[in-house]
Structure 1
């Protein structure tokens, strides 16, 4: 069935606009997410220059604001909250987390090859529930706002990007049969 230039559906909407609207919307969303990556990466330099310090800030805050998350890290379980900030192992693991996030950000959405093994290890070996990625994402947003100058628009961009990453991780979790 062909569409006439002036044909409309029952609601009076031009059918050609309906057909073209979806690709335009997808294109707009793709352009927006690319702009989000660029905005975040503009503020990533200080983090990249000192992964250990930022990593410690992120994990210390995560464990302080969400104490239940500390139990998911066997090597950190016995560290009192007051000792987290000065702990080298916390800094090292935080640095690892942020380096991986940096890789994901620089991939600008083309992250399947990075995310698949990460999802696999966190689902099958570490058994990390997907909600914990939402928690740490929000902590990263706060730390970047306070320490790396990420403004309100940048914070929203980071939340949007992390929502995509977490949704992709969740899809990987489901493929693996992990309900986390």
Structure 2
């Protein structure tokens, strides 16, 4: 259990910073950490060898001053909705972040937290002193398991770039095990009942609630939304239009007003509307996804087309003023739709 709690502590700097309200004062507590050179005999869920590899690679990576800013920068640029959670640079243009003092200060706060984690991997006594203080704080701060998964993916990506050949298969395996332990441990703390996925539909109560509520404000313009997505998709990838035989050879700029095209737009928009309305009806939503899967299989539309369509839907939703939590719910809903209609082979 030592590593699970250690890594959880290290990323508290990330979670607590996200939730800091405007105008609050941050008190920095400096903790002196004694590096433990020998493991204390508890293998726990991470082997002593993996702990050693993590320490070694981290000692190399932390010497590079670019690691911390790059991790945080890539995190907020890959997931722009999370930038709003950092009050001190929520409105800073992304191309100015790496030169922003508040952004850099936060990046190095996270680095310091991670450094404590790595140096504390084997010291259960040090970790125990932190557990009572942490308690259930993460849930109140609004951190979600997917945020930690995404942060971990970006962290390992930056480490791989910075360390090059030193971040070999052995190091990748050690970090993967460590981050998996974090997500497994923290998920139980953060998830409420509404965040638990239905074993059959794979949707959570929160996803259903957020998607249906926000869709009510959008559905009136769903035909125009779907049409704009089709036009953009056809321009990005012209071959996709060939899957629609009735207007495959119509110039993209001439599609608006074409009877066959408008009929297809209305069909897709209404299907999307009915699927969202059925999210809380297990039999109906599973039936909808199965119908979509089998009726489109004969046309051999590859998964990549569905991925692009989902990405463009998400782009539209992102422009509608939805909160980070609502966008996270939509990300989950669209992911389930994708896997239900065009599962990976």
Query: Who is 1:159 aligned against?
Result: 331
Under a length normalisation based on structure 2, what TM-score does the superposition of the two structures give?
Answer: 0.39
Correspondence 1:23-102 to 2 at 5 A: 28-30=195-197, 33-102=204-273
1:155 and 1:76, CA in 2 relative to 1: closer, same or farther beyond 3 A? farther
Displacement of 1:93? 1.4
**SS state at 1:128 partner:** coil
Distance in 2 between residues matched to 1:12 and 1:81, nearest whole Å: 56
1:53–1:91 contact (8 Å) kept in structure 2: no
Q: Give the alignment partner of residue 144 of structure 1, picking from 309, 317, 331.
A: 317
Query: Who is 1:135 aligned against?
Result: 308
Structure 2: gaps of 5 or more residues: 1-41, 47-184
Higher relative contact order (CA 8 A, sep 6+): 1
Distance in 2 between residues matched to 1:156 and 1:41, nearest whole Å: 14
1:151 and 1:64, CA in 2 relative to 1: closer, same or farther beyond 3 A? farther
Query: How big is each residue's C-alpha offset from its partner over 1:79-128, in whole Å with a ceiling of 9 and x where there is no partner?
Result: 1121234434333312221222222222226221111121111002x221
Distance in 1 between residues matched to 2:257 and 2:228, nearest whole Å: 10
Query: Who is 1:18 aligned against?
Result: none
1:64–1:81 contact (8 Å) kept in structure 2: yes
**SS state at 2:322 partner:** coil
Structure 1: gaps of 5 or more residues: 1-8, 14-20
Displacement of 1:166? 1.5
**SS state at 2:250 partner:** coil
Distance in 2 between residues matched to 1:161 and 1:130, nearest whole Å: 16
1:71–1:77 contact (8 Å) kept in structure 2: yes
Distance in 2 between residues matched to 1:68 and 1:56, nearest whole Å: 17
Query: Who is 1:170 aligned against?
Result: 342
Under a length normalisation based on structure 1, what TM-score does the superposition of the two structures give?
Answer: 0.69
- The answer as to 2:291 corresponding to 1:117 is yes
Query: How big is each residue's C-alpha offset from its partner over 1:119-159, in whole Å with a ceiling of 9 and x where there is no partner?
Result: 111002x221122111101111122333x443444333222
Distance in 2 between residues matched to 1:151 and 1:58, nearest whole Å: 22
Looking at CA atoms only, which structure, 1 or 2, has the larger radius of gyration? Answer: 2
Query: Who is 2:151 aligned against?
Result: none
Distance in 2 between residues matched to 1:70 and 1:108, nearest whole Å: 29
1:98 and 1:33, CA in 2 relative to 1: closer, same or farther beyond 3 A? farther
